Amino acid sequence: MEQIIPFNKPHITGKEVHYIYDAVASGHISGNGKYTKLCQSFFEERFGFKRALLTTSCTDALEMCALLLDIKAGDEVIIPSYTFVSTALAFVRQGAKIVFADSRSDHPGMDEERIEELITAKTKVIVPVHYAGVSCDMAKIMTLANKYNLFVVEDAAQGIDSYYINTDGTKAALGSIGHLAAFSFHETKNIQSGEGGLLAINDERFIKRAEIIWEKGTNRAEFFRGEVNKYGWVDTGSSFLPSEVTAAFLWAQLEELDLIQEKRILLWNTYFSAFTNSDLREVRLPSIPHYATVNGHMFYLVCNNEEVRSGLISKLKRDTIHSVFHYLSLHSSPYYKDKYIGKELVNSDKYSQAIVRLPLFFDLSVMDVELVLKKVKEFVK
Ligand SMILES: *Cc1c(COP(=O)(O)O)cnc(C)c1O
């Protein structure tokens, strides 16, 4: 029987259960214990965030951003339409008006050249999404934010261990550039804890309040540091922190971050280098801007149209290979389409119809990738 190649399979390093056992045996299984602190310090030291707070999801980290920035009814937030629901939802829940930006023609990320025309007196935030872990042009976005006094929240859900390359060749980790950033450890991401996320804070003005919002609007963190002698309700907030069980799981993954990244990038490169664009006919390779690195989060192909994509997905399915399409533009979604009053977003809609994602996960072998490639080549020939 032919082997089935799934689209994704969460990687288990083997140490997760060991650390969870340790957390349980220690008697501290609620949040903000030893493993939460280990993970947070790891992120701060390795990626240069001023403060890192684990959250129960990236969705939650984005909701914290909307609270921290005091987003209110009438505020405008610029986000790409080609993204996951949570990018918009966090701000919609605060009553914000979402101003959807189109994708670039060469890449699904938001078109940096078209942001300025969307800015009004009510604009408060720009939310770039680093699709597939490939950086947006952060220099351009930060320049705009400075010019109009806006905040930047990076949706770095897919962006762990990926970088923006400055003009002088130095690199800045995704999530370390905007005022705030959110990461995901959902089981479909490079590093996972089933469900999980991280708020990265780069603007120090937000640190103290973030700790309060994180722990149900209380100043519990200050209390445990001995800075106040009792703690109580001081602000808005929610229960955004994960338990130590989740943090212990995540710690096992972080210990193997380099190994995981090396393998994923190897698989990504195997896909990417198997084609020259001329082999591909009705399909093209992802384009990686010169200022962006690849973190092996996702490998996709861009089909000429929806029919080609359906054909490719069906062909792979017959060969027991599971490939999937990706986002439906948010401005055309059932929840939003009647509320949307902006322009047509041609590139977002194009990517909604054109992208096919191929299997890419740690336990996939180079041989498996070669089999997928062989089948894709049969289709495009
Ligand atoms: C996965 C993802 C999210 C949501 O992450 P959760 O941890 O599942 O809440 C948000 N934005 C983008 C771009 C994502 O890929």
**pTM, two decimal places:** 0.97
Do residues 71 and 29 share a domain? yes
In a domain, 287, yes or no: yes
Do residues 222 and 131 share a domain? yes
| Last residue in a domain, options 204, 231, 254 | 254
Using CA positions, which residue lies closest to atom 2 of ligand 1?
157
Residue keyed to tokens 């498996």: 368
Do residues 146 and 163 share a domain? yes
In a domain, 200, yes or no: yes
- Percent helix, strand and coil across the chain, each to the nearest 5: 40, 15, 45
Which of 91, 129, 158 has most ligand 1 atoms within 8 Å of CB, for mutation?
Answer: 158
Do residues 281 and 220 share a domain? no
Which DSSP string do the residues of 245-285 spell out, in sequence order?
A: HHHHHHHHHHHTHHHHHHHHHHHHHHHHHT--HHHHTTEEP
Is the minimum distance from the CB of 156 to ligand 1 under 6 angstroms?
no
Beta 299-303 vs 151-155: how paired, if at all? unpaired
129: nearest Cα among 172, 179, 79: 79
Number of domains the chain is built from: 2
- Contact between 82 and 131 (Cβ < 8 Å): yes
- Contact between 121 and 147 (Cβ < 8 Å): no
CA 256 – CA 251 distance, rounded (Å):
9
Residues in the chain with pLDDT < 70?
A: 1-2, 277-278
| Host domain of residue 243 | 16-254
User: 86 alpha carbon to ligand 1 midpoint, in Å?
Assistant: 6
In a domain, 340, yes or no: yes
- Contact between 125 and 71 (Cβ < 8 Å): yes
CATH of the domain at 287: 3.90.1150.10
Do residues 358 and 376 share a domain? yes
In a domain, 303, yes or no: yes
User: 57 alpha carbon to ligand 1 midpoint, in Å?
Assistant: 8
- Contact between 110 and 98 (Cβ < 8 Å): no
Q: Calculate the CA 89 to chain-centre distance.
A: 14
In a domain, 7, yes or no: no
| Last residue in a domain, options 229, 254, 279 | 254
In a domain, 5, yes or no: no
Do residues 156 and 269 share a domain? no
Do residues 34 and 167 share a domain? yes
The pLDDT tens digits of the residues spanning 288-326 come to 999 999 999 999 999 999 999 999 999 999 999 999 998
Neighbours of 63 (CB within 10 A): 24
- Contact between 202 and 177 (Cβ < 8 Å): yes
Q: What is the pLDDT of residue 381?
A: 82
- Is 15 a known active-site residue? no
- Contact between 183 and 160 (Cβ < 8 Å): yes
Q: What is the pLDDT of residue 224?
A: 86
| Catalytic option among 37, 72, 189, 208 | 189
The pLDDT tens digits of the residues spanning 173-202 come to 999 999 999 999 999 999 999 999 999 999
Do residues 285 and 372 share a domain? yes
Burial bucket for residue 288 (CB in 10 Å: 0-12, 13-18, 19+)? middle
CA 157 – CA 58 distance, rounded (Å):
6
| Last residue in a domain, options 233, 254, 275 | 254
Q: Calculate the CA 213 to chain-centre distance.
A: 22
Q: What is the pLDDT of residue 276?
A: 76
In a domain, 240, yes or no: yes
Phi-psi region of 171 (alpha: psi -120 to 50; beta: other; left: phi over 0): beta
Q: Calculate the CA 373 to chain-centre distance.
A: 26
Is the minimum distance from the CB of 158 to ligand 1 under 6 angstroms?
yes
Which of 8, 55, 57, 58 has most ligand 1 atoms within 8 Å of CB, for mutation?
Answer: 58
Do residues 242 and 296 share a domain? no
Do residues 162 and 82 share a domain? yes
Q: What is the pLDDT of residue 2?
A: 63
CA 53 – CA 9 distance, rounded (Å):
26
CATH of the domain at 23: 3.40.640.10
The pLDDT tens digits of the residues spanning 211-236 come to 999 999 999 988 988 999 999 999 99
Is the minimum distance from the CB of 57 to ligand 1 under 6 angstroms?
yes
Tell me, what amino acid is at 356?
V
- Structure tokens given for 251: 């710690």
Do residues 244 and 263 share a domain? no
Beta 283-284 vs 299-303: how paired, if at all? antiparallel
Do residues 274 and 249 share a domain? no
Q: What is the pLDDT of residue 275?
A: 83
In a domain, 9, yes or no: no
